[in-house]
Structure formats: C-alpha cells, structure tokens
Amino acid sequence: METRSRFMTPRSLRLHDSAIQEMIGLVHASGALSFTAGEPSADLLPARELREALSAAFGGARDLLGYYHDSAGHVKLRDWIIRWMKQDGLLPQDIGLENILLTTGSQEGISLVSEALIERGDVVAVENPSYTEAFLAFEREGGIVKGVAFDNEGPSTEGLEQVATTGRIKFFYTIPCFQNPTGSVTSAKRREEILEVAKKHDFLILEDDPYRNLWFDERPPASYMSLPENDGRVIYLGSFSKVIAPGMRCGWVVSPDWISPSLHRLRVASTLNLPAILHQGILEFLQNSNFPGHLENLRQVYSARRDGLVAALRRHFGNTEFHFDIPRGGFFLWGTMTDLEDSDAFARFAVRNEGIGVLAGKIFSPYPLEVSPGTLRLSYAKVSPEEAEEGCRRLERALFTYRNTA
C-alpha cells in the first residue's frame, strides 16, 4: 500500500510510540495486577464532591456555555491557584494573573513550552532517568535530550556542567519533588546550586511539580520559582491530575513576563481555549470542599500503600535480591533486581506469564543502554497492602521462572 509520508512534516515524523503506554496497554489487555500506573487510585477520587461541584457549575452554566472564554483559562480559577501557591510560599509576590495559563495537565504545559522555546538542534537537559513522555515533546521540536545523573541530593551539578560543555542548553527539565520514576527529592541546597549553574551557562529551568503535595513525612523544599536566586529563568508546571482527578484534565503553567504572551498565543493557535464549565466545577470543588483534608487523606493512604509495598518486597526478596530506596512521597519506588540482565524482557515475561505488571527502568532514560539492566519502576498508588503482597508473590515467581527459562 502506498504511504503518504511525503505529506508529513519532519516535526511529526520525529514522534514515536510511547513505551510506557505500550506496556500499560499490555497490562490492561492481560487483566494483570499492575504496579505500572502513575495515576491516582479510583477509590480515592472525591467523586461525590466533584459531582456536587459540577452540578453547581451547570447551575450557572448559561454564561459559561454561551461564548468562548479567556484563552488563558478561567479567571477565577487562575486567581485561586495563584493565591494558593503564594500561601504555600511557592511563588514570588510579583506573579499575577497574566503569568498563569491553565492547561489540560502538565503534558500540555511541556508541549507549549517546547513549542515556544526549542529550535532544532537545541540541547534539553533532563534528569537521568526522568519522565519519558516529556522527551517526546522535546524531540518533536528537534531538541537533543541529554541526561544528568543523580546523587543523594538530586541532579548532579557536575553532570549539568558537563552537559553544558557539549552544547548550549536551552533549558533543564526537572521534577524536583518525588520524581518520576525514582521518587527522589532535590534538596534545598542542590536547588540553589542548580540555579547558579543555570545563571552561569544562561539556560532556563522547567520545573514540573505534580507530586509536591503528596509528601509523607515532611514537606519538600521550596520551589525553584520561589527562590531569591531565580531571575526570571524558571517556568513552573502544576497539575490537579494527581490530587483531584486525572479525568478532569486540569493543570497550569506559571511563567515569567517575557514568555507568558507567547504561551497565550500558542494556545489561541492550537485549542483557542479550554472548557470553562469544567474549570468552574474544579473551582466549586476547591472553594466548597475540604481540600486540605482531602490532601491529608491522600498522604495517609499513599504512605500506607508505600509501606505495604516495601514490606512485601522485603518478605519476598530480602535485602539482597532487590535493592531500592524508600520514597518519601509521590507514587513510585525505583529499584534494581540482582543479576537481572534485561528488565524490559523480564517485564513482558512477567505480565504474560504471571499476571503482574512492572515497568523497565531503561524506558525512562535518554541513554537506555547505560541503565542498570535490572532496574524497575513500581507504582504503589493503586495497590492496597494486600494487593502488594499478591503482586510481589507473582513477581518473585516470575523472576524464578524467567531465570530458569531465559
């Protein structure tokens, strides 16, 4: 059959399938118990409160449904987010409504920022490993993705300096709080050091912060955007997907004055605006429900689920078979199986033969061949302690069978 690829732009042809989505699709198709999903648990969604909030929104729907709204998004919701973030000390006081753009989640924010900033050949530095779906947006625009290794404090400043010597960095993409996939937190000191490197080499910081409010033991450090060292080079991405409901598709970008108008124009050129009725529903929920109490409940439940997974892993693998650090928040546990030579092949074997889904670590790296071959990401967000026990039992059995048949 004749292909019509000659009609396609180089930009669209640079895209490739998502390895995460492929694996999650395989898990769903098999009906496996899953440690793969990086999304909130359905039993923790505030369904009743959201139903009431959306009903209230539709009660005044004539004004919301009758015309196209501000391309930057629902004004009152933007104002609520700005005030909330300032109360938490996450934003400078000079940030205002003109600096915030609502999105359909962090991914759209990544996409818009990439369109605005990346030209073909620009270097985009990322944590190694990191959220691989962001790489798709960077590479679509022709960006060259280069990884920066971690140490105990966060992304290595030496590694960032090294990337800066290989080409001019346009921006550094970072998930500083309970990072996907490692669950790590960048220390306050390291954030200041990274900002200094950014100033020295004159690049920007794209701060993706969807897990910030899912801390278990202590609040994470202040955002890059709020630090005194920030001189207008930080762009912040937030999201309600992890703490309210991913199906509501609501996030935001907070950006400096020099780039905000361009992001607004890109919105007009793409989707024009977003569904105001949904934004009104989210605002009703935030104003009329106990949102702080909801966040505290999420922290307690996810903390217990983390503990359940950690305990199950230790029962089934001891302290030597599977090495991992205990996350202090978020959704993810990152570890390495001893003597496992191909975590991707093992992950596919495990879901097909033992009905347990995990994700191979190499899919989160811009340098897949350099990742420790036994590395895996496990998500505990949707897994009760009882399911964690069953999942680890299946994982142990899969590992035994795989080693004896590979």
Same domain assignment for residues 86 and 222: yes
Give the mean model confidence (pLDDT) for residues 59-63: 73
User: Do 228 and 357 have their domain in common?
Assistant: no
Closest CA to 359 of 25, 108, 14: 25
Domain boundary residue among 288, 317, 336?
288
**Bridge partners for 34 per DSSP:** 357
Residue type, 24: I
What is the rounded average pLDDT of the residues 48-71?
83
Does the residue 61 lie in any domain? Answer: no
CATH of the domain at 350: 3.90.1150.10
Contact 331, 344 (CB under 8 A): no
Domain of 193, CATH number, reads 3.40.640.10
Residues 6+ apart with CB under 8 A from 400: none
Q: In the listed set 239, 263, 288, which residue is the last one of a domain according to the structure?
A: 288
Please report the pLDDT score of residue 3 as a whole number.
Answer: 67
- Reported as a single tens digit per residue, the pLDDT across 106-133 is 999 999 999 999 999 999 999 999 999 9
Instruction: Flag whether 53 is in a domain.
Output: no
pTM comes to 0.94
Quickly count: other Cβ atoms within 10 Å of residue 63's Cβ: 10
Could you tell me if 166 and 257 lie in one domain?
Answer: yes
Q: 303 pLDDT exceeds 90?
A: yes
Crossing angle between the packed helical segments 132-140 and 106-117, to the nearest 10 degrees? 30
Same domain, 80 and 29: no
Please check whether residues 137 and 221 belong to one and the same domain.
yes
Using the predicted structure, report yes or no on whether residue 240 has a pLDDT greater than 70.
yes
Structure tokens at 46: 């505030």
d(CA 285, CA 27): 33
Number of domains in the chain: 2
DSSP-H helix ranges across 258-384: 260-270, 276-288, 291-317, 343-353
Residue 156 confidence (pLDDT): 97
Whole-number pLDDT of residue 299: 98
Q: What is the dihedral of CA 66, 72, 74, 76, to 10 degrees?
A: -140
pLDDT band for position 1 (cuts 50, 70, 90):
very low
Beta carbons within 8 Å of 342's beta carbon, 6+ residues apart: 373
Residue 346 lies in domain = 5-45+293-405
Same domain (yes/no): 92, 11: no
- Over residues 310-320, the mean pLDDT reads 92
CA distances from 233 to 114, 201, 236, 259, 341 (A): 15, 12, 10, 10, 41
Which of 238, 257, 288 represents a domain boundary (last residue)? 288
